[in-house]
Amino acid sequence: MPSKHTFLICTRDIDENGVFLDEPGNTTYLKVPAEKREYSSRDAISKERWTRAVVAAADGEEDEITGSTGDILFFVHGYNNDIKTVLWRTRVLQDSLAAQGWNGLVVGFDWPSANSTLNYLEDRYDASRVSHRLVEEGLQIVVDAQFPVDPKVSSCTINLHLLGHSTGAYVIMEAFANASKKGELFRKPWRIAQVAFIGADVSSEALNFNSDWAAPMYERIFRLTNYSNKFDKVLGVSNMKRLGTSPRAGRIGLPLEIPAKAVNVDCSEYFKTKDPAQSKFTGTFNHSWHIGDPVFALDLALTLEGDIDREAIPTRRHDQGNLHLLAGQSRPEYQVGWNEDRSVTD
């Protein structure tokens, strides 16, 4: 059953009135009631209470094949996101994935981001400053719950996933790169199951197989799925605030030379059919249409579950070796019974 609260990790500074600012500050763990439309320091709880609540909300029935007991998707937003937007997107992701049959928990990772397109470069700098906390103060506490120091403490087995939107992809890559330098966490036997990028504001070439920047991420994950859209104007080279940076993965897709664990899903054809007037979204439509879209939600749900090979997910069409997002599809009719194990009887 979905939690009545929304869980987030916030790395923004706090003013004297308990309001979160657009500058980096201490890490705050939040449990936000469903009726609230924005959060403040009054929604903070201790790290220990937050960890117990998140693990309990994600913990489900044990999968007899994988042994896992739940899923947590950490959602990392992009630049130009205020408090209300971060909360709305975290909740819509939770609801849209649940509507497609995914039983996990979405947790928001909120980093300092101003509600202004003029703050692009400052936001990116702030993203780099706090990125390490995604691993050290987010993923690590769930990892510690799975590998407790005290043998008397019961452990759990939860699949961890990451979703980065826009600059959120940059935060994720920076987080792995920074964490790999510290060693303690990387010595533990953990893995991130699925990483997905939407509208990724990182260079396409930065994700190739020999990229020093991407290497720490690739080392720790099972799969990277990059959702690209050639109609993403926000990521276009003509966008002057981006200072003519190299072609972005969220627009042109992954480079030709990528690790076997990386795959690109081109959403361009599907996006052409989308009417903003009939869509649920916030922000610039061509850059943020994914959050609230049922076709994307189903594809992401099937990706996070990992039960179906990336080449066989029904929401994808093959064309000359490329994968394209496909509308009008649903889960396989008999998928719910595929894990049934029956003994031979007379």
- Reported as a single tens digit per residue, the pLDDT across 256-266 is 999 999 999 99
Q: By C-alpha distance, which of 35, 283, 299, 311 is closest to 168?
A: 283
For residues 274-310, b (16+ Cβ closer than 10 Å) or e, as one string? beeeeeebebbbbbbbbbbbebbbbbbbbbbbbeeee
> Measured on CA atoms in the order 197, 126, 133, 182, is the torsion positive or negative?
positive
Q: Is the pTM of this model over 0.85?
A: yes
Please tell me whether residue 113 adopts helix, strand or coil conformation: coil
Largest CA distance in the chain: 74
pLDDT band of residue 345 (cuts 50, 70, 90) is: low
DSSP H helices, 17-119, are 47-58, 83-99
> pLDDT tens digit string along 202-258?
999 999 999 999 999 999 899 999 999 999 999 986 554 555 578 999 999 999 999
- Say if residue 62's pLDDT is above 50: no
Mean pLDDT of the chain: 86
At residue 56, the pLDDT reads 86
Please give the structure tokens belonging to residue 246.
């190299």
d(CA 225, CA 197): 6
Q: Do residues 171 and 134 touch, judged by C-beta distance below 8 A?
A: yes
**More confident call, 241 vs 98:** 98
Look at residue 343 in the predicted model and tell me its pLDDT: 75
Checking if the pLDDT of 66 tops 80, the result is no
What are the pLDDT digits (tens) for 39-52? 999 999 999 999 88
Quick one: pLDDT at residue 134? 85
- Residue whose C-alpha is closest to residue 165's, from 294, 76, 248: 76
Residues for the chain: how many in total? 346
Interval 100-117 mean pLDDT: 85
What is residue 123's predicted lDDT score, i.e. its pLDDT? 61
For the chain, the structural domain boundaries read 5-333
pLDDT at 180: 77
Model pLDDT, residue 18:
87
Model confidence pLDDT, tens digit, residues 109-119: 998 876 555 45
Given 3.40.50, 2.60.40, 3.40.1390, 3.90.226, which CATH number is that of 5-333?
3.40.50
28 CB contacts (<8 Å, ≥6 apart)? 9, 10, 11, 12, 14, 20, 41, 44
Tell me the per-residue pLDDT of 117-143, one tens digit each, with 9 for 90 and over.
Answer: 545 665 666 677 788 788 878 887 777
